[in-house]
Amino acid sequence: MSESAIRRLSLYLRALEEMGDDGEEIVSSRLLAERVGTTGPQVRKDLSLFGSFGTRGLGYAVRPLRVRLRDILGLSRRWSVALVGAGRIGAALVAYPSFRERGFEIVTILDNDPEKIGTRWNGIAIGPVERMEEAFRRNPAEVAILAVPAEAAQDAADALVRVGVRGIMNLAPVRLRVPEGVAVKHVDMAVELESLSFALRHLVR
Amino acid sequence: MSESAIRRLSLYLRALEEMGDDGEEIVSSRLLAERVGTTGPQVRKDLSLFGSFGTRGLGYAVRPLRVRLRDILGLSRRWSVALVGAGRIGAALVAYPSFRERGFEIVTILDNDPEKIGTRWNGIAIGPVERMEEAFRRNPAEVAILAVPAEAAQDAADALVRVGVRGIMNLAPVRLRVPEGVAVKHVDMAVELESLSFALRHLVR
DNA sequence: CAATGTGAACTTCTTCACAGCG
DNA sequence: CGCTGTGAAGAAGTTCACATTG
């Protein structure tokens, strides 16, 4: 069950959601593959890791497959999310509607800036990071989005683990150390840009 | 030369930059590995893809390795960057100082919102996306950061390719189709969150 | 003696070909 | 007849062991 297979499932789900709204009933592995930039066999392999959802000779029924994928990905429930770091990136994420649509609801926002503490974003009062425990007693979250400066990230992550967070999406340019049983996904734009740079280094100018 | 090896090089470089400021002269593959969350042999394998930079029995000299890595990654030059999409995410990226520090300079900002066009961000006047060609004649860019809504992303990417962009970092939740010779890196937070959800789906509650 | 550099073993992921089935 | 489901082949990436060398 590779990480990349899971990521592709998420892409398949997105494609199916876009399709459903267009009224398509059936989709072939080939077509789905085209939409997410992979191949038919890859799609079938990925899906077959979790069962047989298709009909031979026909393809996959869009709606049921969508339901199955949501289920597999753990998206048929609500996830409570804590946002740590109410800077510009945090602001962008809070305003981003598709997280909530997909079941991720921000219930707690924490920051250290005294100017921000007490103000409300989307109806949620921003609390101080030092009072994380208190904030979590009121509004516990299973997942956290970490959007603080690099220097503050590891401490914040430690605190999050202490209050029971089981998954962290980290936007700070630091590799977090977390104990077993806590999942971390790194979104590292510097790394992405630098790998672009590598790809272009001999092609350009 | 795997994608993941390149990403690790970028992490090694970051670690080395942090170290250099602390005055450490020599680093072992083991130590470097620890800082980025991998293993000594992995570090040595990755580096050996590009040459032998270490001293047996000793380790790697921090500063020269840093220089070599910058070179390998194509970071010993300046890259001009066009930002398409001056929403909240765009705002966060423009304000983020480490892009510029690492040689990526935003020279053009484009958006479609009439309210924004003409205003200045970091001294750069926001232009209309429709006049991309004109904007690029004035301030050409090799790389683009795409931070527009999903529906607008493919059209914007097509336009960017037409004006000569060779690499795109895409933040829109869409898989872009681009011709051969154009590199795309996807930063897809929905996918990251959903793969977190998958990891937690049976562990939590 | 300590840590690199690397071929070889191993493991994981992807591609392929085709049997199976509606 | 068409498209899925899958075992087997192939490719890619990682780990390991150790010979090498300052």
**CATH number of the domain residue B34 falls in:** 1.10.10.10
**Which residue range is the domain that position B161 belongs to?**
79-191
What pLDDT is attached to residue B20?
A: 80
pLDDT digits (tens, 9 = 90+) for A133-173: 999 999 999 999 999 999 999 999 999 999 999 999 999 99
Q: Evaluate if the CB of B10 falls below 7 Å from strand D.
A: no
Task: Using the predicted structure, report yes or no on whether residue A22 has a pLDDT greater than 90.
Answer: no
Shared-domain flag, residues A161 and A109: yes
- Kindly give the parts of chain B with pLDDT less than 70: none
* pLDDT computed for residue A23 by the predictor: 77
Q: Is B21 in the same domain as B41?
A: yes
- Is A204 a domain residue? no
Closest C-alpha among B126, B87, B88 to residue B107: B126
Q: Which of residues 37-96 of B touch strand D (CB under 7 A)?
A: 38-39, 41-42, 44-45, 55-58
User: Which domain-ending residue is among B34, B49, B72?
Assistant: B72
Structural domain includes residue A39 = yes
**Whether residues B113 and B16 fall in one domain:** no
The average pLDDT across A29-52 equals 97
Regarding whether A40 and A141 lie in a shared domain, the answer is no
Size of interface A-B (CB pairs under 8 A): 172
CB of B49 within 8 Å of a chain A CB? The answer is no
Residues B143-182 pLDDT 10s: 999 999 999 999 999 999 999 999 999 999 999 999 999 9
- Residue B22 is predicted with a pLDDT of 72
In a domain, B196, yes or no: no
Distance B174 CA to C13 C1' (A): 24
List strand residue ranges (DSSP E) for B48-171, in order.
Answer: 54-55, 59-61, 79-84, 104-111, 120-121, 124-128, 143-146, 167-170
Strands (E), chain B: 26-27, 54-55, 59-61, 79-84, 104-111, 120-121, 124-128, 143-146, 167-170, 183-186
Contacts of A19 (CB under 8 A, 6+ apart): A27, A35, A62
Asked if A1 contacts A49 with a C-beta cutoff of 8 angstroms, the reply is yes
Scan residues 131-190 of B and list those with Cβ closer than 8 Å to A.
142-143, 166-169, 173, 175, 177, 181, 183, 185, 187, 189-190
Please give the pLDDT value at position B24. 79
Query: First CA to last CA across chain A, in angstroms?
Result: 42
Q: Determine the average pLDDT of the residues in A105-111.
A: 98
Strands B124-128 and B167-170: unpaired
**Whole-number pLDDT of residue B113:** 97
By percentage, how much of chain A surpasses pLDDT 70? 100
Q: Are residues B43 and B112 in the same domain?
A: no
Contact A183 B196 (CB under 8 A): yes
Are residues B69 and B15 in contact, defined by beta-carbon separation less than 8 angstroms? no
Percent of chain A residues past pLDDT 90, beyond the cut: 95
A138, A68: one domain: no
Mean pLDDT, all residues of chain A: 96
Q: What pLDDT was estimated at residue B173?
A: 96
Is B83 within a domain?
Answer: yes
Specify whether B54 is located in the same domain as B140.
no
Interface of B with A in 60-99 (CB under 8 A): 72-75, 79, 87-89, 91-93, 95-96, 98-99
What is the per-residue pLDDT for A197? Answer: 98
Contact between B171 and B109 under an 8 Å Cβ cutoff? The reply is no
Question: Do residues A97 and A164 share a domain?
Answer: yes
What pLDDT does B185 receive?
98
Residues B47 and B129 in one domain: no
Q: Which positions in chain B touch A88 (Cβ < 8 Å)?
A: 88, 91-92, 95
Residue B205's pLDDT is 76
Closest CA to A31 of A7, A10, A52, A15: A15
Q: Which of B138, B132, B144 is nearest to B104 (CA)?
A: B144
Considering the domain architecture, whether residues A28 and A94 belong to the same structural domain is answered as: no
| B201 part of a folded domain | no
Residue A105 placed within a domain: yes
Do the Cβ atoms of A75 and A143 come closer than 8 Å?
A: no
Q: Which of residues 19-48 of B touch A (CB under 8 A)?
A: 35-37
**CATH of residue B119:** 3.40.50.720
Q: Determine, for residues A195 and B6 on separate chains, whether the beta-carbon distance falls below 8 Å.
A: yes
Q: Beta partners for B120?
A: B125
Of A16, A39, A72, which residue constitutes the final position of a domain? A72
Q: How far apart are CA A23 and CA B59, in angstroms?
A: 61
Q: A93 and A172: one domain?
A: yes
Is the Cβ of A49 closer than 8 Å to some Cβ of chain B? no
pLDDT at B23: 77
For nucleotide D3, the protein residue with its alpha carbon nearest to C1' is A57
Residue A205 has pLDDT above 80, yes or no: no
Q: Please identify, among B72, B101, B133, the residue that sits at the C-terminal boundary of a domain.
A: B72
Asked if residue A14 is part of any domain, the answer here is yes
| Closest Cα in chain A, distance from residue B54 (Å) | 22
- Total number of domains constituting chain A: 2
Asked if residue B84 and residue B165 are part of one domain, the reply reads yes
| Confidence at residue A177, expressed as pLDDT on a 0 to 100 scale | 96
Q: What angle do CA B8, B11, B15 make, to 5 degrees?
A: 140
Is B35 domain-assigned? yes
What does the alpha-carbon distance between residue B172 and residue A11 come to, in Å, rounded to a whole number?
13
Closest Cβ opposite residue B197 in set A74, A93, A175: A74
pLDDT of residue B102: 94
